[in-house]
Amino acid sequence: MRLGVGAALVAGALVQGDMAVEDGRITGLGLGPAGAGLAVPGFVDLQVNGFAGVDFLAADGAGYAHAREALAATGVTAFVPTFVSSPLDVYPDALATVGSLPDGPGPRVLGVHLEGPFISPRWTGAHDPAFVLAPDAAVLDRLCDAGPVRLVTLAPELPGGLALVERLAARGIAVSAGHSDADADAARAAFEAGVRAITHVYNAHRRWAPRDPGLAGVALVHPAVTVQTIVDGVHLAAEVAAAAFRTAGARFCLVTDAVEAAGLGPGTYRLGPMTVAVANGRVELADGTLAGSVLTMDAAVRNLVTAGASVTQAVHAATRAPAALLGAPGLGVLRV
């Protein structure tokens, strides 16, 4: 089957011509005659709490099937459902559900992103402080044993935080620093210990200062740190998103932080154990705290292009950058 495109984005370069697909595999690139449009690798979302009326923490197999179909319509072909800090007795069933999901149809589920519960009480953001815990190796092991944990956001500066980083690294689980009060020294120590990313940069962590750039300042210039960013026009001003992109370059990674309201309209929805309100493109708790987004990944790519990225760079931020953080070289690429 021919896609009818005019070019394909392959290894960061445009290959002019059409693309052929047979039985779900690419069988030809650069074919003539060319059509119109551009084929790009499928998008990879590392932080998505829910979608199209489905909250992943509470979802069953049917809910995931519905969300996967809706995510596919936005260009996502792989994603990591995100669980915010919650009561400990909620996690086992939710993790087991992900572990039992079939391979298809729809986008691949790459495992779970635990955003918490080992985060700073000073920077809980939309997380319920009642469910935030101090680093605890035994609790971490129980969570990781309950299902396919692929990514964990934690506050590395907490007592015992770096020990959890080492424990996760030994399991092959990627660690991102977020909801954190780490100063610059603590951030450097975390990245040297194996933390590989920052979660939603400039949101829910210690603020940048000229003599203490904190977590964000160190992450933006560290050559091995992925900078995960919500480019929805709500979480960051356009200039801030553009500056982060220009600084991080190929390490800049788009995430949506979408909640179950994504793809739907205004109203009241769930975010894990919490209730959120959606209006005017914002997702908020009752006190006005931002609580995720209604962003879709195709819109994030367009927004990044508007901020000054090339199409190639924006697609990289939605494909190869997240795949690299997960250590998944087969994701986010087009090849025969």
Which residues are known to be catalytic? 257
Tell me which residue of 108, 88, 111 sits closest to 272, measured CA to CA: 88
Residues 6+ apart with CB under 8 A from 84: 49, 57, 115, 116, 126, 127, 271, 272, 273, 274
Tokens coding 36: 């119109």
Contact 150, 326 (CB under 8 A): yes
For residue 209, give the DSSP letter.
B
- Residue length of the chain: 336
Place of tokens 């500056």: 243
- CA-CA distance, 304 to 321, in Å (whole number)? 14
* C-alpha distances out from residue 317 to 1, 281, 304, Å: 28, 22, 9
- CA-CA distance, 67 to 61, in Å (whole number)? 10
Separation of CA 336 from chain center: 27
Task: Label residue 322 exposed, middle or buried (CB < 10 Å: 0-12, 13-18, 19+).
Answer: buried
For residue 283, give the DSSP letter.
E
